[in-house]
Structures are given as structure tokens and as C-alpha cells.
């Protein structure tokens, strides 16, 4: 057996045991943690039957018993030791660091010698989740170990009065070069992370924006009269689009987890409501396959807990959807039970069982790995990325929980999660209740849409049309500012964040700081990355909506923002009616005495309206109802501004028309006749 007493005396002589922290060692430990991307790194030395932590990061303990620890295996074997999943390694069953608060799952350590063949300590990195350790990372850890040994030898030389100035300078120079190399590697790593985050943000925007149009327009089309075959096609489009969105969300979640930027909330929530929400969301998919969903709730589980309800719901939906996907007949069972009751905590288990195809033992060993599926044909037959279960496992680990699986081929599978929650003294019935909204507040409002994507402008307008909303559309921030500078005002502004010329944040800054408008502004963005909503609210937005959105989502946000506002956009006339054909009082109110502006608006009317009417004529000939309705919708606010009340009903009818018939031709003729008379009369004013 190695002479532990001699080793301890050697370390005591060099003042390496029970001594104050030293920057030389602390820096090496910090570099090891950063290089390996682990939260914990330790430099340990033998202290009798204990191992003393000379330098450490990410852990509060000062020492650990040597017996049965993974450190002792590294030191006694005098060989590097790498354990990718500590929960499965027989060497580590007795170590206390496997449990809270450390919850060690991964360990990589190398022995430290003192100029002879026997080890006196170790340098290691630790993670709370299983992972792999590359050869380059192992080599880097060995190089850092060499640096520790050089410092020990240097201290020994100093202690023996055998060092020289030249030796010291060589060691300092070597250390400087080594640290410089590691700093450069760290900079490259940080730049790579930033590039990855920027790519994900851009990818999210570029994919979510057209996907929003696909989902939105298919939903709008689904509300029209469709033939059965058309309805089947439309349902297929919506299903495919939603599956694509789930894949995008999985990729973004995995990226956030890898970067350590996925936060776990700790807020009061109603446990039973979250469970029932998950079943409600998945029930339609189960019903489509003829499957039953059974729920068994343990009455000993408190309804009022503190945790992350959104992530718990996501975990359950992942597991239930997975069960539905691989089950063709039978039942999906969801069962909850109380595992352990403590003073302030409940440890809860939730099992999701199915009667599906099951899995063999070989696949069970890698089921929680990224992109893992039973075989390549599984992806082709059932779809998916193979990320769902991996994300579920990592979410549970972030919540302090765990997941296990039992399965038998052709008989089914059971996934069981165990997760602790803090008890809440506050009742959460009010907190977790679904908040209703009154869409009637949208009626007859005036809303500005600032969005560079024409499809999204059309989609939002289509959603708002039933509420007889006066919608104005512009495609960038500069056009919006020009419109607002003209004096036109709105009840609500919908503002896209990523646009050419001025982006959403710059446009909002002008609206708030230069125009001093308090109009509610809703941010609409395809960037669904962490922190975007908080950033928008801090910058002065009144609400936030991520693409793609459902019709109910945008109506809820708009209703919420309009609920506390008055109909302020409509400006009361201040001039008496001056001609039966039109009333310029609203225009003059907007102009605020600027006659040049008034005349310019009249000139613009005289040039733009005839062009719009020609477009309607061409569309009538071509049978293009969409173009007729779009043009009517576009010029409708102009007639309102000019006070041409006789055109309100005809233009509204054109905007809502379903077919080109005799009545449609009469409407167009009426609009053209009145516009001709107005333009002739306007000639006297300019």
C-alpha cells in the first residue's frame, strides 16, 4: 500500500495542505473548467484518509473521504480515469458527490505526482449530466496537470534552495505561453458560440416567417366552404406545418440546453391543471388514432407547488405524443403518485404507459441520446428528429429530476419521471386559471401594421377583417414614421422587429421619444430565442408575439392591449360639411392648419385612386376576386380620410365580395362614378 504518511508530510512541507488559496493553482482549475465546459473543477491532494481540495470551482465542499471515492481510484491507479455516466459505474456507488447538492454524473481526472512515480493528488473536471470527453480535452487536461507538477517541483526547488533565476524565468515564460494559448482557445470558443447563436436567431426568423403565413392562411382557408377533398388537403398542410414547427422548437431547445441558457422557472402553479392541460392538448391526436387516454391522480399530491409548469407540461406532452406515435391500438395511461414527502418538498413520479410497439434492450441503452431512433426506417415511418426524449431527459435533470424506461418489444413501454417540487403556501387557482379576453374591443378600431413580409400583412388583415377594423399597412419603419409624422393616429400598432432600413426597435424609439406617442405597440417577431420577450418589454413594447402564431394568439394580444384604451384614432371633425360629395374636415384636422399638406393629399388622391380603379377593372376582367378585395381594402382608408361617406358601403361590399356577378359590376361602376365626380371637384381646390 502506498505510504500515505510520507506523501502527507511531503505536501505539508511544501505548504500545499490546509493552506490559503493560491492564484497559480486557482487559474489552472478555472482554465480546466472552461476548456472542458464543466461547472465543477478540482485540484485535490492526499490528507491522510481524506482528500483536501486545494483549488476548486463550482463546489462548496473543502474535502471528501478518500475511501470509495473516484479520486482514490485516480490516485491509487496513477492513471487517468474518465467516467461518462457515474450512475452506471460500479467504482462510484459509495461517493457522496453522486447526491445533492453536487449530483455528479460525469468525471474526468488525472493523477498528480511529485517528481516520483507515486501520485499525491489529482486534477479533475465534473459535470452534473452524463457526457463524452474528447481526446483533445483529455490531452488539454494532461497538459494542465503537467503545469501543476511543474509548480510543485518549482516550489520544491525553492524550498531546497536549489532554484536559479534562469529556471524561474523559463517556468514563467512557459506558463505565460501556455496561458496565452488557452486564452486564444477560449476566445475562439466564445466567438464560435456567438456565431452559433446568431445563426439560430436568423434561421428561426427565416423559417418562422413563411411558416407563420402557411399556418395562418391555411387556418383562414379552413373557415371557408371547402370540398371534402380540399378539406383533407388543408388539414394535411396544417399538420405538416405544425410538425415542422415542433422540429424547429426541438432544435432551439437543444441549442439553449447545450449553451446553458435554458432557464428553469420557480413559480407557483397548479399541478393537477398542468397534467390535465397536457392530456387535453394531446387528446385530439389520440382520438384520431382511436386510442384512449386514462389519467390516475394521487390525491396525496398537493395541487399548489412551486416549479416550472411550462417545462413540466412540455415533458408530459413529449412523452404522451411519443406514446401515441408508436401505438396503433389500445390505451395510453398517465399515472401520478407521491414518492416522498418532506417538510417543504414533494417528490412526485409520473408514468406514461402505452400498448405500442415497444423496444429491444439494445435500443433502450441509447434511447435518451440525441437523434436516437430505433432504426432509420422509424424516422421515415413515424417522423421526428430523435431529439424529444433527449430534451425531456435534460429538462428533468435541470429540474433536479430523472427519467427511466421499461419496455418489451411488441407489448409496450412505460416512461417514468421523478421530480421534486417545493410546496407552495399560496393557492394557485387564480394564477393558473385561463384568462379570457373580449374580442369585441377590436371592433371598428384603427390599427397600423408595420411588417416587411407581404404575406404576414395579408394574414393579419384577414384575421382582423371580421371586426371591421380600419387597417393601414406599411412595409418598413421609415414608411411608418412618415405616416405618423403626417398626423395620422392609430389605436394600436403591430410592429415587426426585423425589417430593412429601420428595424422594430429603432422605429419604436422614434415613436416613443420623438413623436411622444403612447399608442400601444405589439412586437411581432420570428425570433423565438430566450430573452427576446423580456428585451422587447424593456425597450418599451407593450406586448410580444412570436411567429408563427395561431389566430387566437394574436386576437388575445390585440384584445388585451385594446381593452384599456379608448377609440382615440378617429379625429372629430372641426369644419362644417362643405360639399355633398366629400367632407375634408378629418383631413384638415390631421393637417393641423397645414394647407400645403392638405393640397398634396388631394393631389395624391387624384393620381392614386384612378390607378387603383384601373387595377379593379383589370381584376374584374380576369376574374381575380382576391385582387379586387385587396385593392378595395387598400383604398378604403383613403375614402374615410377624404370624408367620402357615399363610398363607405360600396367599398365595404367590394372588400367582402365572394363572386363576380351583376351586383359586383354595379358596385364598381358606382365607385368609379362617384370618384370621377370627386376628382373633378377637387380640381377646383388645387
Average the pLDDT over 188-217 and give the result. 64
CATH fold of the domain at 585-682: 1.20.120
pTM, 2 dp? 0.39
User: For residue range 543-579, what is the model confidence (pLDDT) as tens digits?
Assistant: 888 877 778 888 888 988 888 654 444 333 323 333 4
Is the pLDDT assigned to residue 201 strictly greater than 60? no
Are 393 and 257 within 8 A, CB to CB?
Answer: no
The CATH architecture assigned to 439-562 reads: 3-Layer(aba) Sandwich (3.40)
Q: Which of 432, 434, 420 is nearest to 268 (CA)?
A: 432
146 has a pLDDT exceeding 80: yes
Q: What is the mean pLDDT of residues 219-235?
A: 76
Which of the residue ranges 62-66, 130-134, 226-230, 367-371 would you say has the lowest mean pLDDT? 367-371
Residue 256 confidence (pLDDT) above 70: no
Distance (Å) of CA 292 to CA 256, 273, 285, 405, 417: 34, 20, 10, 21, 21
**Residue 116, C-alpha cell as written in the block:** 516520483
Does the pLDDT value for residue 538 go beyond 70? Answer: yes
Whether residue 676 is predicted with pLDDT greater than 60 in this model: the reply is yes
State the average pLDDT over residues 7-31. 86
Q: Measured between alpha carbons, how far is 499 from 510 in angstroms, rounded to an integer?
A: 15
Q: What is the mean pLDDT of residues 28-44?
A: 91
pLDDT (mean) for 264-273: 85
56-86 pLDDT, tens digit per residue, is 998 888 888 877 567 778 888 888 889 888 8
Q: How distant, in Å, are the alpha carbons of 33, 158, 538 from that of 145?
A: 13, 20, 46
Segment among 423-427, 617-621, 634-638, 640-644 with least mean pLDDT: 423-427
**CA nearest to 665, candidates 649, 676, 654:** 654
Long-range contacts of 134-139 (CB under 8 A, 24+ apart): 137/35, 137/36, 137/108, 138/80, 138/82, 138/108
Which pLDDT score is estimated for 474? 92
Phi, psi of 663 (to 5 degrees): -60, -40
Q: Under CATH, which architecture does the 4-163 domain have?
A: 2-Layer Sandwich (3.30)
Which tens digit of pLDDT belongs to each residue from 99-140? 777 788 899 999 998 766 678 889 999 998 888 888 888 898
SS3 614: helix
Predicted pLDDT at 362: 77
Q: How confident is the model at residue 250 (pLDDT cuts 50, 70, 90)?
A: low
**So what's the pLDDT on residue 334?**
93
Average pLDDT over residues 209-221: 74
Burial class of residue 665, CB neighbours in 10 A (0-12, 13-18, 19+)? exposed
E strand spans, 378-506: 402-408, 412-423, 446-450, 470-474, 492-496
Sign for the CA dihedral angle at 3, 9, 11, 16 comes to positive
Query: Between 643 and 336, where is the model more confident?
Result: 336
DSSP assignment, residue 163? -
**Mean pLDDT across 328-352:** 92
Neighbours of 586 (CB within 10 A): 19
The helix-helix angle for 135-159 and 23-36 (nearest 10°) equals: 170
Q: Which has the closest alpha carbon to 147: 181, 117, 106, 118?
A: 181
What pLDDT score does 284 carry? Answer: 75
Ordered DSSP codes for 239-298: HHHHHHHHHHHHHHHHHHHHTT------EEEEHHHHHHHHHHHHHHHHHHTT-EEEEE--
CATH for 269-284+308-422? 3.30.565.10
Choose the most confident range, by mean pLDDT, from 239-248, 518-527, 593-602: 518-527
Helix (H) or strand (E) holding 522: strand 521-525
pLDDT given at position 116? 65
- Give which of 66, 172, 95, 84 is closest to 132, Cα–Cα: 84
Q: Using 50, 70 and 90 to split pLDDT, how confident is the model at 511?
A: very high
The grid coordinates of residue 684 equal: 377646383
Ranked by mean pLDDT, the top range of 157-171, 448-462, 570-584, 645-659 is 448-462
SS3 332: strand
pLDDT band at 580 (very low <50, low <70, confident <90, very high): low
Q: Is the confidence at residue 490, as pLDDT, over 70? A: yes
596: helix, strand or coil: helix
The pLDDT score that the predictor gives to residue 568 is 41
Residue 431 CB partners (closer than 8 Å, separation 6+): 267, 268, 269, 270
Give domain limits for the chain: 4-163, 195-258, 269-284+308-422, 439-562, 585-682
Q: What percent of the chain clears pLDDT 90, i.e. is strictly above it?
A: 17
Q: How far apart are CA 548 and CA 211, in angstroms?
A: 6
Provide CB contacts within 8 A for 197, sequence distance 6+.
Answer: 255, 259, 529
Q: Which has the higher per-residue pLDDT, 386 or 67? A: 67
| The predicted structure's pLDDT at residue 335 | 94
DSSP structure string for 63-108: EEESTT-HHHHHHHHTS-EEES-GGG-GGGTT-GGGSTTT---EEE
The mean predicted confidence, pLDDT, of the chain is: 79
Residues facing residue 268 across a β-bridge = 306
- Most confident option among 215-219, 369-373, 633-637, 665-669: 633-637
More confident call, 510 vs 249: 510
Instruction: Give the closest residue to 122 by CA, choosing from 132, 136, 112, 108.
Output: 112
Alpha carbons 102 and 647: distance in angstroms, whole number: 73
Cβ atoms 466, 655 nearer than 8 A: no
pLDDT at 303 over 70: yes
User: Per-residue pLDDT averaged across 490-513, rounded?
Assistant: 90
CA–CA distance, 589 with 45 (Å, rounded to integer) = 83
Q: How far apart are CA 657 and CA 319, in angstroms?
A: 47
Amino acid at each position: 500500500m502506498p505510504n500515505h504518511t510520507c506523501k502527507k508530510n511531503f505536501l505539508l512541507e511544501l505548504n500545499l495542505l490546509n493552506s490559503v488559496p493560491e492564484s497559480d493553482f486557482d487559474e489552472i482549475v478555472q482554465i480546466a473548467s472552461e476548456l472542458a465546459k464543466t461547472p465543477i473543477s478540482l485540484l485535490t491532494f492526499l490528507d491522510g484518509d481524506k482528500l483536501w481540495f486545494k483549488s476548486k470551482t463550482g463546489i462548496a465542499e473543502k474535502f471528501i473521504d478518500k475511501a470509495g471515492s473516484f479520486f482514490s481510484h485516480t490516485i491509487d491507479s496513477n492513471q487517468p480515469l474518465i467516467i461518462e455516466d457515474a450512475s452506471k459505474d460500479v467504482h462510484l456507488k459509495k461517493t457522496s458527490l453522486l447526491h445533492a447538492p453536487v449530483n455528479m454524473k460525469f468525471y474526468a481526472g488525472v493523477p498528480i505526482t511529485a517528481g516520483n512515480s507515486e501520485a499525491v493528488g489529482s486534477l479533475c473536471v465534473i459535470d452534473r449530466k452524463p457526457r463524452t470527453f474528447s481526446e483533445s480535452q483529455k490531452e488539454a487536461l494532461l497538459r494542465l496537470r503537467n503545469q501543476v507538477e511543474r509548480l510543485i517541483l518549482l516550489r520544491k526547488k525553492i524550498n531546497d534552495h536549489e532554484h536559479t533565476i534562469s529556471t524561474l524565468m523559463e517556468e514563467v515564460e512557459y506558463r505565460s505561453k501556455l496561458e496565452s494559448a488557452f486564452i486564444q482557445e477560449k476566445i475562439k470558443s466564445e466567438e464560435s458560440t456567438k456565431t452559433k447563436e446568431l445563426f439560430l436567431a436568423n434561421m428561426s426568423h427565416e423559417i418562422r416567417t413563411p411558416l407563420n403565413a402557411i399556418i395562418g392562411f391555411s387556418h383562414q382557408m379552413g373557415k371557408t366552404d371547402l370540398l371534402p377533398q380540399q378539406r383533407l388537403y388543408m388539414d394535411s398542410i396544417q399538420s405538416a406545418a405544425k410538425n415542422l414547427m415542433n422540429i424547429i422548437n426541438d432544435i432551439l431547445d437543444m441549442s439553449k440546453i447545450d449553451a446553458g441558457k435554458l432557464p428553469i422557472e420557480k413559480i407557483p402553479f397548479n399541478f393537477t391543471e398542468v397534467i390535465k392541460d397536457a392530456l387535453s392538448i394531446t387528446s385530439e391526436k389520440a382520438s384520431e388514432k382511436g386510442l384512449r387516454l386514462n389519467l390516475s391522480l394521487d390525491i396525496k399530491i398537493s395541487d399548489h407547488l412551486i416549479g416550472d409548469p411550462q417545462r413540466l407540461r412540455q415533458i408530459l406532452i413529449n412523452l404522451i405524443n411519443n406514446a401515441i406515435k408508436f401505438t396503433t391500438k389500445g390505451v395510453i395511461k398517465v399515472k401520478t403518485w407521491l414518492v416522498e414527502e418532506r417538510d417543504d418538498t414533494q417528490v412526485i413520479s409520473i408514468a406514461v404507459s402505452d400498448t405500442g410497439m415497444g423496444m429491444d434492450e439494445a435500443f433502450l441503452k441509447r434511447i435518451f441520446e440525441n437523434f436516437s431512433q430505433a432504426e432509420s426506417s422509424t424516422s421515415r415511418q413515424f417522423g421526428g428528429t430523435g431529439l424529444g426524449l433527449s430534451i425531456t431527459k435534460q429538462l428533468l435533470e435541470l429540474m433536479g429530476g430523472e427519467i427511466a424506461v421499461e419496455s418489451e418489444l411488441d407489448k409496450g413501454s412505460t416512461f417514468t419521471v421523478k421530480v421534486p417540487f417545493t410546496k407552495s403556501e399560496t393557492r394557485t387557482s387564480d394564477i393558473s386559471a385561463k384568462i379570457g379576453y373580449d374580442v369585441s374591443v377590436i371592433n371598428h378600431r384603427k390599427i397600423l401594421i408595420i411588417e416587411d413580409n407581404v404575406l404576414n400583412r395579408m394574414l393579419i388583415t384577414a384575421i382582423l377583417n371580421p371586426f371591421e377594423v380600419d387597417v393601414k399597412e406599411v412595409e418598413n419603419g421609415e414608411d411608418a414614421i412618415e405616416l405618423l409624422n403626417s398626423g395620422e393616429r392609430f389605436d394600436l400598432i403591430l410592429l415587426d422587429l426585423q425589417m430593412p432600413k429601420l428595424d422594430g426597435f429603432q422605429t419604436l424609439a422614434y415613436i416613443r421619444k420623438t413623436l411622444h406617442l403612447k399608442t400601444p405597440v405589439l412586437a411581432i417577431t420570428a425570433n423565438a430565442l430566450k430573452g427576446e420577450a423580456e428585451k422587447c418589454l424593456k425597450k418599451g413594447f407593450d406586448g410580444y408575439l412570436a411567429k408563427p402564431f395561431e389566430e387566437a394568439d394574436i386576437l388575445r394580444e390585440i384584445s388585451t392591449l385594446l381593452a384599456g384604451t379608448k377609440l382615440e384614432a378617429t379625429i372629430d371633425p372641426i369644419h362644417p360639411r362643405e360639399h355633398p360629395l366629400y367632407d375634408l374636415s378629418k383631413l384638415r384636422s390631421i393637417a393641423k392648419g397645414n394647407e400645403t399638406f392638405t393640397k398634396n393629399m388631394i393631389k395624391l388622391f387624384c393620381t392614386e385612386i384612378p390607378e387603383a380603379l384601373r387595377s379593379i377593372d383589370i381584376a374584374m376582367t380576369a376574374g381575380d376576386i382576391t385582387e379586387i378585395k385587396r385593392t378595395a381594402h387598400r383604398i378604403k382608408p383613403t375614402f374615410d380620410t377624404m370624408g367620402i361617406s357615399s363610398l363607405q358601403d360600396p367599398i365595404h361590399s367590394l372588400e367582402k365580395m365572394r363572386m363576380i356577378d351583376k351586383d359586383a359590376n354595379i358596385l364598381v361602376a358606382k365607385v368609379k362614378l362617384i370618384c370621377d365626380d370627386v376628382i373633378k371637384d377637387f380640381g377646383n381646390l388645387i
